[in-house]
């Protein structure tokens, strides 16, 4: 088998986006500046490998703010949080760092603006995803209506069809969302919203790169977590673009290589929360079984970088008086 040729088509861009990079850096810099423990509400990004690496450095992941003791810093995840969360942190006098991706925060501010201007907001997204919970939680309960499918659009009951706006989750399928949006605009021609949707550059670019390689490969692996929205969408996009044998894998150890024995061209990509080391691990595992040639297929170049929050860079370190409060 090691003599069997295998060409790997590596999608680019893949893996970490600017929002994930920033969120992980916030935890790492907080650990350096303040020392462990640094608490993190929810997985900072949806990747077990990332979470475990940060835990090894002293981060403590919890589900709710009630699990955070007084006097320690707490970070909110990249997906964003309902307004009630920072409000509660302030009430308790906690020092908190908000790692919400700036592109998610932008959606929050837009939803608020529409609400202030009297429009009911229809959010296209997946129920229960932390980003959707965070975006809906920017406005009073009931002010945001969620639609997940074209069928939902037909059913949604609005207060005034002439006073609506839409927003979207940032990690949706571009093509699927276009269909839902078209249905919304057909039913509510006066609906306001962004020029296209709120799907972020990283999600769009990763989907485009997958579309470019999917028709050229026998099978395709997406490195990503089962709860990572953008990773799951990459599998769907690959299937939609002609690669029926697309699957999500968390890391090399999860791959059933016997099921890939007949594959001569293998596509690989990674969701926005999956570190490159996991891609390298898969290529190494393939090299142990095949005579591997790697070709990178780049469809876009990314140079987006987000600044760290001032609350982190300006905060006094413990030797300067601690972090007892912001």
Is residue 270 part of the contact set for ligand SF4 (CB under 6 A)?
no
Backbone angles phi, psi at 96, to 5 degrees: -125, 150
Q: Which is nearer to ligand SF4, 120 or 203 (CB)?
A: 203
Query: Quick one: which of 6, 9, 11, 17 contacts ligand SF4 (CB under 6 A)?
Result: 17
Q: Which is nearer to ligand SF4, 234 or 286 (CB)?
A: 234
Query: Quick one: which of 8, 94, 101, 209 contacts ligand SF4 (CB under 6 A)?
Result: 101
Q: Least separation, in Å, of the C-beta of 170 and ligand SF4?
A: 4
**Closest residue to ligand SF4, Cβ-based?**
19
Is residue 205 part of the contact set for ligand SF4 (CB under 6 A)?
no
* C-alpha to C-alpha distance for 29 and 16, rounded to whole angstroms: 18
Q: Which is nearer to ligand SF4, 257 or 306 (CB)?
A: 306
Is residue 139 part of the contact set for ligand SF4 (CB under 6 A)?
no
* C-alpha to C-alpha distance for 6 and 265, rounded to whole angstroms: 6
Query: Quick one: which of 40, 54, 78, 214 contacts ligand SF4 (CB under 6 A)?
Result: 78
Q: Which is nearer to ligand SF4, 18 or 54 (CB)?
A: 18
Q: Least separation, in Å, of the C-beta of 76 and ligand SF4?
A: 13
Other CB atoms within 10 Å distance of the CB of residue 255: 18
* C-alpha to C-alpha distance for 222 and 243, rounded to whole angstroms: 12
Backbone angles phi, psi at 247, to 5 degrees: -145, 155
Active site residues: 131
Q: Which is nearer to ligand SF4, 141 or 305 (CB)?
A: 305
Is residue 274 part of the contact set for ligand SF4 (CB under 6 A)?
no
Query: Quick one: which of 104, 153, 213, 221 contacts ligand SF4 (CB under 6 A)?
Result: 104
Q: Least separation, in Å, of the C-beta of 29 and ligand SF4?
A: 17
* C-alpha to C-alpha distance for 152 and 181, rounded to whole angstroms: 11
Crossing angle between the packed helical segments 201-213 and 229-240, to the nearest 10 degrees: 30
Is residue 203 part of the contact set for ligand SF4 (CB under 6 A)?
yes
Is residue 202 part of the contact set for ligand SF4 (CB under 6 A)?
yes
Q: How many residues bind ligand SF4 (CB under 6 A)?
A: 15
> Which residue has tokens 């088998």?
1
**Which residues of this chain interact with ligand SF4, rule CB under 6 A?**
17-20, 78, 101, 103-104, 170-171, 200, 202-203, 230, 272
């Amino acid at each position: 088998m090691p003599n069997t040729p295998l060409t790997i088509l590596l999608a680019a861009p893949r893996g970490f986006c600017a929002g994930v990079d920033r969120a992980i850096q916030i935890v790492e810099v907080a650990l350096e500046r303040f020392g462990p423990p640094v608490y993190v509400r929810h997985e900072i990004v949806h990747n077990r490998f990332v979470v475990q690496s940060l835990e090894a450095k002293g981060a403590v992941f919890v589900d709710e703010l009630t699990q955070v003791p007084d006097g320690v810093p707490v970070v909110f995840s990249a997906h964003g949080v309902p307004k009630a969360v920072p409000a509660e942190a302030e009430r308790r006098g906690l020092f908190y760092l908000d790692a919400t991706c700036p592109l998610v925060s932008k959606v929050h501010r837009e939803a608020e603006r529409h609400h202030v201007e009297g429009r009911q907001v229809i959010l296209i997204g997946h129920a229960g995803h932390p980003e959707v919970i965070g975006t809906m939680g920017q406005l009073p309960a009931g002010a945001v209506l969620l639609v997940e499918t074209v069928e939902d659009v037909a059913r949604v009951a609005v207060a005034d069809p002439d006073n609506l706006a839409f927003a979207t989750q940032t990690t949706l399928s571009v093509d699927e969302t276009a269909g839902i949006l078209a249905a919304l605009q057909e039913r509510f021609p006066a609906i306001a919203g962004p020029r296209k949707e709120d799907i972020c550059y990283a999600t769009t670019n990763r989907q485009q790169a997958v579309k470019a390689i999917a028709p050229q490969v026998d099978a395709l692996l997406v490195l990503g977590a089962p709860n990572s929205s953008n990773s799951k969408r990459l599998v769907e996009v690959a299937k939609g673009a002609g690669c029926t044998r697309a699957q999500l894998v968390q890391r090399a150890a999860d791959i059933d290589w016997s099921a890939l024995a007949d594959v001569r061209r293998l596509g690989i990509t990674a969701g926005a929360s999956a570190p490159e080391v996991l891609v390298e691990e898969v290529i190494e595992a393939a090299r142990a079984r095949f005579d591997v040639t790697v070709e990178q297929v780049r469809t876009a170049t990314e140079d987006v970088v987000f600044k760290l929050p001032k609350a982190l860079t300006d905060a006094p370190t413990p030797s300067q008086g601690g972090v007892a409060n912001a």
